[in-house]
Amino acid sequence: MKIERLIPDEQVMEAVKNGELQQASILFDRYNKRIFNFFRQLSNDTMLSEDLTQNVFLRMIKYRNTYREGNRFQSWIYQMARNVFADHYQANKNKANHIEVEKMSNQLFEDEEYDEEREQRLHSSLSRLSDEQRELLVLTRFQHLKYEEVAEMMNTTVANIKVKVHRAIGKLREFYFELENR
């Protein structure tokens, strides 16, 4: 086992913050796939997700001094990813930037087998959710972040996140069964 794996993310980020920029590669190795999947699930665009992932790590270096000792690195990097996505969305909101279900791949469910129709219904249902609801489900269900981390990122309470996730799941279920019954 590499020694790098034993060093907590927060300690590695402190080293990066203190000018040891080569340490950023450790964090990149640990988080690039997760951040990519986060963007992929939100945007349904592989190339865009790759670009946005690179932007997150460039910003990590650029804004390394904003990282506060004692904060969880994972929450900080996902907040940065949310900001990158929001910036991209704002810059491109006038363009046709809607999710196209036809372009979706099996990446959302890498390890599980679903029949194509059920998967298509799920993707269609996800695309009908509001941006906030979709983001909450991606963070909590697909990225497996804890409610506490999501609440910290969104500057709200855990109870509020639980309510919003519960409502998002209800809406997703409603859309899914509406499509299933067609």
pLDDT tens, residue by residue, 138-180: 899 888 899 999 998 888 999 999 999 999 999 988 988 888 8
CA separation for the pair 13, 15 (Å, rounded): 5
Read off the pTM. Answer: 0.70
For 36-94, what is the HEC assignment? Answer: HHHHHHHHCCHHHHHHHHHHHHHHHHHCHHHCCCCCCHHHHHHHHHHHHHHHHHHHCCC
Which CATH number do you get for residue 12? 1.10.1740.10
CA separation for the pair 4, 138 (Å, rounded): 28
Q: Are residues 85 and 117 in the same domain?
A: no
Q: Are residues 135 and 118 in the same domain?
A: yes
Predicted pLDDT at 76? 94
Q: 152 in helix, strand or coil? A: helix
Q: Are residues 112 and 92 in the same domain?
A: no
Predicted pLDDT at 157? 94
Of 97, 115, 139, the domain-final residue: 97
Q: Are residues 74 and 15 in the same domain?
A: yes
CA separation for the pair 152, 161 (Å, rounded): 10
Q: Are residues 90 and 102 in the same domain?
A: no
Of 39, 74, 97, the domain-final residue: 97
Which CATH number do you get for residue 175? 1.10.10.10
Q: Are residues 112 and 51 in the same domain?
A: no
Q: What is the phi-psi region of residue 72: left when phi exceeds 0, alpha when psi lies from -120 to 50, beta otherwise?
A: beta
Of 56, 74, 97, the domain-final residue: 97
Output the average pLDDT for the chain: 84
Q: Are residues 124 and 162 in the same domain?
A: yes
Q: Are residues 76 and 88 in the same domain?
A: yes
Residue whose token pair is 């000792």: 69
CA separation for the pair 81, 164 (Å, rounded): 20
Each residue's pLDDT expressed in tens, for the chain with a length of 182 residues: 455 668 999 999 999 999 999 999 999 999 999 999 999 888 888 999 999 999 999 999 999 999 998 889 999 999 999 999 999 988 876 554 344 333 333 344 443 444 677 777 887 888 899 989 999 998 998 888 999 999 988 889 999 999 999 999 999 889 888 888 87
Predicted pLDDT at 55? 96
Q: Are residues 108 and 175 in the same domain?
A: yes
Are 20 and 79 in contact, with CB atoms under 8 Å apart? Answer: no
Q: Are residues 143 and 86 in the same domain?
A: no
CA separation for the pair 77, 14 (Å, rounded): 13
Q: Are residues 104 and 88 in the same domain?
A: no
Predicted pLDDT at 164? 93
146-155 pLDDT per residue, tens: 999 999 888 8
Q: Are residues 49 and 6 in the same domain?
A: yes
**Total number of domains in the chain:** 2
Domain interval for residue 175: 98-182
Predicted pLDDT at 14? 95
